[in-house]
Amino acid sequence: MAEPQVAYFTYRHQPLKALYIVYAALVLFVVRTPYWVITNLLPAWRPRRSWPLSRVLKVNTIREVLRIAFQTSIGIFLADSEQLAKSAAEVGFVWIEPDPTLIGGEIKAAAKINDVEPARIGGVWYGQRGPDGRVGQQAGPDEKVIYELHGGGWVIGNATRSWDSAYMCDEMIKYADGYARALQIEYRLAQAAPFPAKNGFPAALIDAITGYNYLVNVVGFKPANILVSGESAGGALAFALTRYLVQSRLPTLSPPGALFLLSPTSDLGRTYFGAGSSVEKNDDSDYVQWFLKGYGVRALLGNMPLEEAFTNSWISPAGARVPRVEGQFAGMPPTLIMAGGAEYTLDEQKVLRDRLVEDNGRDAVAYVELPDTTHIVLTEAWHEPERTQGYEAFAQWVSKVNSDVKSAEYLA
């Protein structure tokens, strides 16, 4: 049985908003922090014995800040593409045009339900620039690129350096041999009551297709040289994008060469719940709870019925109630799923791994679980030594994928 939903944005109007933020901040620093210090003094009292006290305080503080944001405003986590375009050269921003002919099948049908159309989106480049200092330069003959999709529960996040995924882009370029550039996009974020509903499923997926098409048919990257990556909701989006490219068989848009999923959110229906589940065992060792208590699900579904959160394999590919069809996720490229042992959503990530293995074989799916780590560990510089261990595992996997591709080309 799922836990009851909670109220969001109760204090969104002024002056209550300002008063609540001041009150919550005072409580955080004067009451909660000292309480956390006292109640976690000994390692045996902490969520994980291996955690230093500083990590307990960081995780608890992040969880509390997110709670305050979802009670007041999440505007500070968003970006405006029109504003980014005004400083395009500085931030590495580009406009990306859509191609409506790329959208079909189930995704086109869902778009009609939520009144979603392909739209121009913004993109932000990281890494190497052209000789003239500009971004978006044409791909080299065999150049590789990372296509990163940020997280944020479908309702917050952005592609700029103000969001955690920017750090991840820099680090992936540093660790992944042969990759000098990464692209993120400002995919449309979903919104629900008490605000006007907009950008329900599959708005973000359509935008992800638009960004991928830009890499292949505008910048000129070979699909085999594209590593699609995403964390949290961005991991779910990266999975959906790759699955769509595999199953739609578009003549101008082949699937990517590899897929990296960091803590992918794969069960919006929250069907793995109760005693012994990761949402029970890891409730005090993670901070994503406020993304999963109702608002994000309602926003993503839009006009679709709630049942879709439980049974739609595009929205909850790891859900316990999703009807399993033979070969449902077959044909996926080499995939790495990286999870944290202290994650709230660990169970669903293991199920997604198992379903991918079932449809693609064990050799096609790598799984790394970092003990005692929280959600999206690779976005957190302070999460050491696990952060470094995770990037080293990522680098080893990239090297193996590249080696396997070279071997296959040689044999061919």
Distance CA 323, CA 338 (A): 25
Q: What pLDDT sits at residue 408?
A: 65
What is the model's pLDDT at position 1? 40
Hey, which residues does 378 pair with through a beta bridge?
none
Q: Is 329 exposed, middle or buried (0-12, 13-18, 19+ CB in 10 A)?
A: buried
Domain borders along the chain are 16-73, 80-411
pLDDT of 188 > 50? The answer is yes
CATH class of this structure's domain 80-411: alpha beta
Q: What are 321-338's pLDDT values in tens digits?
A: 999 999 999 999 999 999
Instruction: Find out whether 206 and 98 touch, Cβ atoms under 8 Å.
Output: yes
Collapsing DSSP to helix, strand or coil, 258 comes out as strand
Mean pLDDT of the chain: 96
CA angle 191, 194, 199 (to 5 degrees): 15
> What percent of the chain clears pLDDT 90, i.e. is strictly above it?
95
- Give pLDDT, residue 404: 82
Given a cut of 80, whether residue 3 has pLDDT beyond it is: no
Which amino acid, 297? V
* CB-neighbour burial class of residue 403 (10 A; exposed 0-12, middle 13-18, buried 19+): exposed
**Least trusted range by pLDDT, from 47-51, 60-64, 290-294:** 290-294
Which is more confident, 189 or 411? 189
In whole angstroms, what is the distance from residue 200 CA to residue 341 CA? Answer: 31
Instruction: Report pLDDT digits (tens) over 354-412.
Output: 999 999 999 999 999 999 999 999 999 999 999 999 999 999 999 999 988 766 665 55
Listed in sequence order, the DSSP H helices in 221-294 are 233-248, 278-281
Mean pLDDT within 223-239: 98
Residue 150 has pLDDT above 50, yes or no: yes
